[in-house]
A = this chain, B = another copy of it.
Amino acid sequence: MNQELIGTLDQTIVLLRQQRLDELRTLLTDLHPADLAEVLRELEEEQRTAVVQLLAGATAAEAISELELEEQADLVTALPPAQAKAILDEMSADDVADLFAELKPEQAGALLDLMAHEEATDVRELMGFEEDSAGGIMTTEFVAIHAHRTAAEAIEQLRREAPSAETAYYVYVVDARERLVGVLSLRELIVAPPETEVRSIMRTNPVAVHVSEDQEEVARVVQKYNLLAVPVVDDQQILRGIVTVDDVIDVIEEEATEDLYRAGGVSEVEQEIDIEGAIWPSIKARLPWLLGLLFLSLLSGKVIETFTPLMDRVSALAVFITTMAGGAGNAATQALTVMVRRLATGEVERDRLVRVVWREARIGLAIGLFCGVVLGIAATLWHGSPWIGVIIGLSITVNLMLAKAAGSLVPVLIQRIGLDPAVASGPFIATITDTTSMLVYFSIAALVLRAVL
């Protein structure tokens, strides 16, 4: 929150306390909806309800749409019915559908009954689509015009419908059966001679997505073609809605957070959790992973146990367990991170995977050799025994190479069996390499020591 906005917030609280409501209304109506939302977010629940009741439906609706869904739900259910109706009718149908998905079915039903018939129909339709599909993120506010209309008539229709700013930058052209046949940008419409039919100036074969298309794919289409909005059609090519670029940005952010969380071994549900709220949801999101990995790590303990007699003879070996396991885990995490991201962005083609894994193994060998020599010398100096140095050097070389190969191979295998490669997290691969690194380390130690002792 910037200084100016903090000032506005303080003023809001003062005006509210002194019941100078007309002044307060003027102050808040002048704000950008996104800023008004920030002010609302900082108010106590009662203050927030009072402020919203003060504002016109449209102003309140725009600001409320900017709040988190949970905050929206709390607010709307706290309002008297008439106020709730005024706001819901003004919100865009896709925002209302998202909000209702947060409520209990009977609450949503009651609010739907309050709403104007046409808006309620749109909302009901949108609520029928999968949350993560084009249908789930599209809005039904768009400008569609029949192909035989003129440019002047199209502009006239735009004036009449006065759609909200975000959705009016393309005019979609449909045929008699409402099927999408073309698109025009507002600029093209203005530049065209007024009497031209839109079908003679429209771009045909417009880029469009199907209602059931995954939201990530929708984002990719908007990105590839640099669109401000993409039309959404059904099986009959009938225009059902549009996805605007601001919603695409939210999808991209959401997916990026999801990938990041998975990489850190955190469930993606964690991004919905209130970071100052109860701890139970976070426990539920993290415990299964942690406990599973702890049990998996007992496998590396089993390997260590097998070599206990060796450690009893050369106790220096125990000293390098964490270095060995940690080094392999870190090397594998690096390779995994690069591979998962490149698979996600489609940079690696299927038929080139072997080459890419082989490249990682060579990187691992080179880095392993270098680190092996350096750590081998360090171990020799530390423990005064060149044999310890040889064991450490050799083990690090082999372990880093294996770790790099494993780190790049595991996401590929996961993709092959049909899962999202992002489920392979850093913690997971590090726990896997704990076992392999112990096996390599103690085997090399046993071989070297048998040759020496």
Please determine whether B290 and A191 come into contact, CB atoms closer than 8 angstroms: no
How long is the Cα–Cα vector from A333 to B261 in the complex, in angstroms?
A: 10
How long is the Cα–Cα vector from A261 to B345 in the complex, in angstroms?
A: 14
Are A434 and B322 CB-contacts (below 8 A) given A32-B225, A334-B266? Answer: yes
Taken residue by residue from 315 to 336, chain A's Cβ proximity to chain B (1 for < 8 Å, 0 otherwise) reads as 1101111110111011101101
Please determine whether B298 and A323 come into contact, CB atoms closer than 8 angstroms: yes
How long is the Cα–Cα vector from A271 to B344 in the complex, in angstroms?
A: 13
Indicate the member of A159, A245, A275 with the most B CB atoms within 10 Å.
A275
Please determine whether B315 and A297 come into contact, CB atoms closer than 8 angstroms: no
Binds B, one of A15-23, A74-82, A276-284: A276-284
Cβ–Cβ < 8 Å partners of A337 in chain B: 260-261, 263-266
Please determine whether A438 and B322 come into contact, CB atoms closer than 8 angstroms: yes
Cβ–Cβ < 8 Å partners of A271 in chain B: 341
Q: How many residues of A contact B (CB 8 A)?
A: 110
How long is the Cα–Cα vector from A337 to B265 in the complex, in angstroms?
A: 8
Please determine whether A319 and B348 come into contact, CB atoms closer than 8 angstroms: no
Binds B, one of A50-58, A111-119, A363-371, A443-451: A363-371
Please determine whether B263 and A264 come into contact, CB atoms closer than 8 angstroms: yes
Please determine whether B187 and A287 come into contact, CB atoms closer than 8 angstroms: no
Please determine whether A326 and B434 come into contact, CB atoms closer than 8 angstroms: yes
Cβ–Cβ < 8 Å partners of A190 in chain B: 155, 158-159, 186, 190
Cβ–Cβ < 8 Å partners of A322 in chain B: 297, 300-301, 304, 321-322, 325, 434, 438
Within 8 A of B (CB), among A343-401: 345, 347-348, 352, 355-356, 359, 362-363, 366-367, 370-371, 374-375, 378, 382, 396, 400
Cβ–Cβ < 8 Å partners of A301 in chain B: 319-323
Q: Which of B159, B363, B378 sits near A298, CB closer than 8 Å?
A: B378
Please determine whether A297 and B323 come into contact, CB atoms closer than 8 angstroms: yes
Indicate the member of A249, A293, A396, A426 with the most B CB atoms within 10 Å.
A426
A224 at the interface (CB under 8 A from B): yes
A169 at the interface (CB under 8 A from B): yes
Please determine whether B334 and A286 come into contact, CB atoms closer than 8 angstroms: yes
Q: Which residue of B lies closest to A189 (CB)?
A: B190
Q: Which of B155, B165, B352, B430 sits near A185, CB closer than 8 Å?
A: B165
Please determine whether A330 and B226 come into contact, CB atoms closer than 8 angstroms: no
Please determine whether B326 and A304 come into contact, CB atoms closer than 8 angstroms: no
A417 at the interface (CB under 8 A from B): no
A223 at the interface (CB under 8 A from B): yes
A106 at the interface (CB under 8 A from B): no
Q: Which of B293, B345, B371 sits near A326, CB closer than 8 Å?
A: B293
Cβ–Cβ < 8 Å partners of A228 in chain B: 166, 169, 228, 245
Please determine whether B187 and A293 come into contact, CB atoms closer than 8 angstroms: no
- Could you pull out 20 A-B pairs where Cβ atoms are within 8 angstroms? A158-B187, A168-B185, A169-B186, A222-B249, A245-B246, A249-B252, A252-B253, A263-B337, A263-B426, A266-B334, A276-B352, A287-B370, A287-B371, A290-B371, A301-B319, A304-B318, A326-B431, A329-B430, A330-B430, A426-B426
Known: A264-B337, A265-B330, A297-B327. 6 other contacts (CB 8 A): A186-B186, A271-B341, A291-B374, A297-B322, A325-B325, A326-B434
Chain A residues within CB distance 8 Å of chain B:
32, 34, 155, 158-159, 162-163, 165-166, 168-169, 185-188, 190-191, 207, 222-226, 228, 245-246, 248-249, 252-253, 256-257, 259-261, 263-266, 270-271, 275-276, 279, 282-283, 286-287, 289-291, 293-295, 297-298, 300-302, 304-305, 308, 311-312, 315-316, 318-323, 325-327, 329-331, 333-334, 336-338, 341-342, 345, 347-348, 352, 355-356, 359, 362-363, 366-367, 370-371, 374-375, 378, 382, 396, 400, 426-427, 430-431, 434, 438
What are the 3 closest A-B residue pairs judged by CB atoms, nearest first?
A: A264-B337, A256-B256, A330-B427
